[in-house]
Structure formats: structure tokens, C-alpha cells
Amino acid sequence: MGIGLTGLSSGLGDVYSNLLSSGSASAGGGMSAFGSTTLLSDYASIKNGSYGKMMKAYYEKQKAADDEDGSSVSSKNKTNETKDAASASAARKFYETASGMKNLDYSADNIDELYDNVSDFVKDYNSLIKSASKSKNASVQAQADALNDYTYQNYKLFAKIGITMNSDRTLSINEDTFKKVNQKTGSTNVPTINTLFRGIGSFADKAADRASRIYRTAGDGEAVTSSKAKYAGTMGSYTADNKTEKTDSTSSNKGTSKTAKDPESANLASTLYKSVEKLGALSITNDNKDDVYDAFSTMIKDYNALIKKSSESENSNVIRQTDYLKNLVSGNKSTFSKMGITMNSDKTLSIDENKFKDSDMGNVKNLFGGVYSFAEKMTDRINQIYRYATQGQSLNAQTYTNQGGYSAAGTGSTLDTTM
């Protein structure tokens, strides 16, 4: 018995419908009209080629989106590597100020000079925060944020000495409050100021480290203490694309070259370096005042000769290093005054023999003994003058230890090595 044509047509229709249905049945088990119509429409779009065009357009759009994402990552990485000469310069200046806080006289009778130094600290901190906030380098901004966060963690200590945080993340200092904190403690030292600014582990010490990181990310990856970074623009300047942004106004109208050799300044720097070493190696006691005076007066003579000559150098880097040497010495004028040593208007020094010998030699020993001492920083600065005056050579000598012995020293101070 055969199958009728009508039945065959009906059976093929059912198979065709079932193949296209993909299970779009109604709750009662029958095929929904909506599902069947939709799938037939899809089948038609595949058959006439429009579906293929649609998929091609989709994948092209997806590829464009992926490329855009990759571009964003690349752009972000590029942003992280963007050089920022202004922030590098501000970071170097703040690093020097923060590092210099360790070597100050923190006795209570030196509150006026301490205020001046802390004011400079606040000013340079603010300059760095403002510059970094405008940076196009994301890493610079992140490091500045970390510095700001650390400052905020110490806001209660700052408040005790008259330093407040402003809404724009800068600091302000109140002179009256700062100076009166000494009267409130009634002690020989100002504890809060010591905690914030003096010694390893202080706020200033950690802030200097953060400034060094900002310098590194803002420039060529060099640390603020590296030789390459110093040559690029030492202590307050940063070189990018052969352009130097100066921050030390005292040197701007003097030396006309960075490459001019200055043998006379180099010879004087070498002489002073040896004088400082000799004094540091000397047994400094109250029973040895004559020898200490002779060594100290020789050092002063050599110091005066160097700064007079190098201040007029044709090499602008020699002048800049000399300015920092003079600033280092100026920062210790309170201690010098206790030893009969005065600073003249031209930044040279004078020594009164009687007052010097009547003073406690312990002051001299504190200046010329130990890590981070005044003498260590002084020899480092003298070495930089010599380097620039000879275009890169170093004073290949040895430096003293606080026990009076000698130990091999690389270029730069111990602080530079540890940082």
C-alpha cells in the first residue's frame, strides 16, 4: 500500500518545521507560531548572505574594541613613563631640604634657626605637592599621594608645633605656635620637633626617601643620589632634552658654562678635603685644644680660599656646588658660634683663638665624627666641586671613622649609599 502525495507533502512539512524549531515549543508541547516564524526568518537571512555580512561587521567591531583597549593600556604605560622635569626639580630640592634636617642643632635655645629650617621644609614640600598634582606621569602622582598620606598620619604631631594641613594638601606653619612649643616643654630639647625631623626613621627621613622615588619616576629612572642624576642637574635642577630648569637663583647670573674646567678650584677643593680629613682623624679632646685649634684654623683658611675662588668660577656647576657648601656651613652657625667661630657677610669664616680654646671640644667632635656628621656632608660637597672642576674625576682618598681610623669611601656620602 503506497503513500499518497498529500501525506508525503504533509510529512515533509512537519520534518522541516521540526528541524528549524530548536525546541521553541509552547508549554503544551506544540510549536509556537512566534518561534517558527523567527527561525524561518533567520534561515532566510543566512541563505541570502545578510547574516554573513552581519557577523563580519560584528567581529570587525569587536577587533576595534580590543585594539582600543590595548591602546588604552599602551597609553597608560606611556603616561607612567612621561618625563616631568618640574616635579623632578621640586623632588630634588625637597630631598635636599629634608635630608639636611638631620644635621641641625636641635637644642631648645636654637628654636629661631629651627623655625627657619622647618619653614624651608614646608615651602619645598608644598612646591613638590603642587607640581606632582599637575603631573601627567601617573607614577609621580601615586608617589605624591603616598607622601601626602604619610603626612596625614602625622597631622597630630604637626599640629603640636603649629603645622597644619590645608585642603589642597599643602602645609602651613604658625611661627608663634612653633616657637612657643619650646617654652611648654621646659626641656633642653624639643621632643616633637626631634621626632618629626631629626635622625633616621623620622618623618623628614622617610619624606626624603619618598622624594627620591618621585625624582626617579619623574626622570630617567635614576635615584636622586646617583652620580648620573647629580651630573644631570645637581641639587635643585633637572636636565631634560638638554634644557636645565634651575631652582637655585644664587647661581643663575654667574658661571657661563657647565663644561669649563677649573683647575684652581679643583686644587683648592683637594686641599680643603685633606684639611677636613686631618681634623676628623685627630684625637679631639679638651686636653688637646692646641692641636685641635691648629687643625681647625687651617681648615677655615682652606675653606675661605675655596669658596672665594669657586664662587667666581666659569663653570656653573662648580658655583652651584659651592653655594650648597656655603649653605651647609651656614646651617651650623649656631654651633660654630659656641666655638668662637663667626660667619662673615661673604660666607667666609673667622675664628677667635681664645674663645675656641675656652669652648668644649665636644662640639668639635660632634661635628667631625660619626655617620651623617657635618664633616661627612662637607667632604661629599667638596668632592662634588672637585668633580665638576675636573669634569668627572673624584677625590680618591679615604675618609675617617668616628673612632679616628680610616675606611675606604666611594663617591658620595653614606646617606647616598644607603638611599
Angle at 319 between CA 415 and CA 274, to 5 degrees: 55
162 plus 269 within the same structural domain: no
Q: Where is the domain boundary, 200, 220, 240?
A: 220
In a domain, 67, yes or no: no
Q: Where is the domain boundary, 220, 246, 267?
A: 220
- Note whether 273 and 392 are same-domain residues: yes
Q: Are 102 and 165 in contact (CB under 8 A)?
A: no
| 177 and 297 share one domain | no
* Same domain for 210 and 296: no
114 near 193, Cβ under 8 Å?
yes
Together in a domain, 268 and 346: yes
Domain shared by 270 and 215, yes or no: no
Q: Tell me which long-range contacts 161-165 makes (C-beta under 8 A, separation of at least 24).
A: 161/118, 161/190, 161/192, 161/193, 161/196, 163/118, 163/122
Residues in the chain with pLDDT values less than 50: 1-12, 15-16, 19-32, 34, 70-78, 185-189, 227-253, 396-419
pLDDT at residue number 206: 87
**Residue 329 shares a structural domain with residue 264:** yes
Q: What are the pLDDT digits (tens) for 16-72?
A: 455 444 444 444 444 445 455 555 666 666 666 666 667 666 666 666 655 555 444
- Residue 120, in any domain of the structure: yes
Domain identity same for 267 and 362: yes
Domain end (from 220, 240, 270): 220
- Residue 66, domain member (yes or no): no
| Structural domains in the chain (count) | 2
Residue 23, C-beta contacts closer than 8 angstroms, at least 6 positions apart: none
- 184 and 280 in one domain? no
User: 188 with 102, same domain?
Assistant: yes
Burial of 262 (0-12, 13-18, 19+ CB in 10 A): buried
Evaluate whether residue 191 is within a structural domain: yes
Instruction: Say how far apart CA 43 and CA 318 lie, in whole Å.
Output: 84
Contact 367, 373 (CB under 8 A): yes
- Asked if the structure places residue 9 within a domain, the reply is no
**Sequence-distant (≥ 6) Cβ neighbours of residue 123 within 8 angstroms:** none
Under 8 Å between Cβ of 229 and 213: no
Query: Does residue 240 belong to any structural domain of this protein?
Result: no
Q: Examine residue 76 and state whether it is found in any structural domain, yes or no.
A: no
Q: Judge whether 150 lies within some domain.
A: yes
Instruction: Give the domain range for residue 120.
Output: 83-220
